[in-house]
Amino acid sequence: MTGSEGSDPQVQAIGSDADVVRVRQLVRTAAVAAKLSLVDQTKVVTAASELARNTLVYGGGGEAVVSTVDNGVRRGVRVVLSDSGPGIADLDLALTDGYTSGGGLGLGLSGARRLVDEFELDTAVGSGTTVAVVKWAR
Amino acid sequence: MERVPILKIGAVLLVSIQVDMQDQMALQLQEDLGQRIVDTGCKGVIIDITGLDIVDSFVGRTLSTIASISRVLDAETIVVGMRPAVAITLVELGLSLNGIRTALNVERGLELLARNAEPDTLDDLDLIGGPEATSS
């Protein structure tokens, strides 16, 4: 991931539906601070919502770290979601449109990736998953 | 938990979502709306999402499910008031909102329902006060 921290990271534990809403609100606030356009704010908040729900449903809960970042040219918002859940055994499959292991639409991970500019996923079976995304201001 | 209110206006049920919904709240709305359709016999449902600043795959799926449930219960659902940024994001996310009819706003939604209604229920739905058709 590029860019240096532009603000104190905000940490939000994810243990319930209400926490997913709180993550959305934190990301919205950071996206406004980073001066993202309304469409880009909407995209990054939607991506964060998908990923935070994954953290809750598949990861058994975890946390989100939300910060603004600056690469010297542009500002952006970074969201890092981590859990200590079962991990993802087949990452290619999990990133395929329409694939779901949990009865959803299978758009969460693949859809979220399309909505952001940078997407990094670290996962290990048995020890958890961390997803980091960045959306830059245009 | 907070619930989304369902208003009955004439022969139409109007749901205006004004808060950032938790997943459980969306599921509750699904149940409440099914019950209200049965209780009232309403043939049309309008869901106004003007107040939603995002629609993610969960909310999108819930809207699709509500539309399907309503259809089975002999009511038509129209989703109105989607913000442009939300529409752009939904399409990029890959969500097609299958089976959902949309209209730009509540007024257009009511017009759509009135147009599709049977003649005998047309009077009930005629509360939009839209421009009268004038023949030249």
- Is the ipTM here above 0.85? yes
Phi-psi region of B133 (alpha: psi -120 to 50; beta: other; left: phi over 0): beta
Check whether A103 has a pLDDT greater than 70.
no
Question: What is the model's pLDDT at position A100?
Answer: 75
> What are the start-end ranges of the E strands in A37-127?
62-70, 75-83, 118-124
Put simply, the answer to whether B57 touches A108 (Cβ < 8 Å) is: yes
Question: What is the model's pLDDT at position B136?
Answer: 43
Per-residue pLDDT tens listing for chain B (136 residues): 789 999 999 999 999 999 999 999 999 999 999 999 999 999 999 999 999 999 999 999 999 999 999 999 999 999 999 999 999 999 999 888 878 999 999 999 999 999 987 655 555 555 555 455 444 4
Q: Are B99 and B36 in contact (CB under 8 A)?
A: no
DSSP string across A80-104: EEEE-SS--S-HHHHTSTT--SSSS
Mutant choice from B57, B59, B96 vs A, greatest count of A C-beta within 10 A: B57
DSSP percent split of chain A into helix, strand, coil, nearest 5: 35, 30, 35
The CATH code of domain A4-136 reads: 3.30.565.10
Residue B7 to residues B37, B40, B44, B81: CA-CA distances in angstroms?
11, 11, 12, 17
Q: Per-residue pLDDT tens for A36-71?
A: 999 999 999 999 999 999 999 999 999 999 999 999
Put simply, the answer to whether B86 touches A49 (Cβ < 8 Å) is: no
> How many CB atoms are closer than 10 A to CB B135?
4
Closest C-alpha to B53, from B26, B84, B94, B15: B84
**For chain B, which domains are there?**
6-122 (3.30.750.24)
